[in-house]
Amino acid sequence: QGKEGLYAAVFAQKIEPMRTLMAEVSSSAAAPAEKLAEILHRTARYILFEEPCIKALFAECLQGNRLPDDTAELIAWRHEVIVRILNDGIKRGVFRECDVDAVAWSFFGLIAPYMLLTPVVQPEHKRGAYSADFVKRVADAAVDLLLRGIRHP
């Protein structure tokens, strides 16, 4: 399998904590807005600070136009989790009616530029980790933008 097999094996190892994080937060008793904020903050911290190699792996795989099956499955499952949280928030009257499918895809898109455009965003980091403070600023801004946009008036 060569290079693709190596990427798939590394991805499988690196993405498992994200699956655990999503399952843990989504099944908690927290309010929907708190769940979304927690997932976004912890995902940003994991990908942009704790495991910056994931950024490079995504970039490499996307250049080849193919994600490993485990990664594609995680992304689809993660989308379903966010859709469930959004629907719960709408049902509770916390979030307004919206296109939950599009919002769920946009949810992680809020941090995607920081994964894919590191050399432009902070050239000094290239493929390395952003600082913890910078990641917190990114996650805070993304959560604020998302929750102000879907919060019920």
For residue 112, the model assigns a pLDDT of 82
Query: Is residue 61 within 8 Å of 70, Cβ to Cβ?
Result: no
Instruction: List, for residues 96-145, the tens digit of each pLDDT value.
Output: 999 999 999 999 888 888 877 776 777 776 667 888 998 999 999 999 98
Round to whole Å and give the CA distance between 128 and 48: 8
Round to whole Å and give the CA distance between 43 and 59: 17
Query: Is residue 98 within 8 Å of 85, Cβ to Cβ?
Result: no
Query: Is residue 66 within 8 Å of 4, Cβ to Cβ?
Result: yes
Q: Is the pLDDT of residue 41 over 70?
A: yes
Mean pLDDT for the stretch of residues 34-44: 95
Band of pLDDT at residue 12, cut at 50, 70 and 90: confident
Round to whole Å and give the CA distance between 81 and 86: 9
Q: How many CB atoms lie within 10 A of CB 2?
A: 6
For residue 35, the model assigns a pLDDT of 97
Instruction: List, for residues 64-101, the tens digit of each pLDDT value.
Output: 666 777 777 888 899 999 999 999 999 999 999 999 99
For residue 90, the model assigns a pLDDT of 96
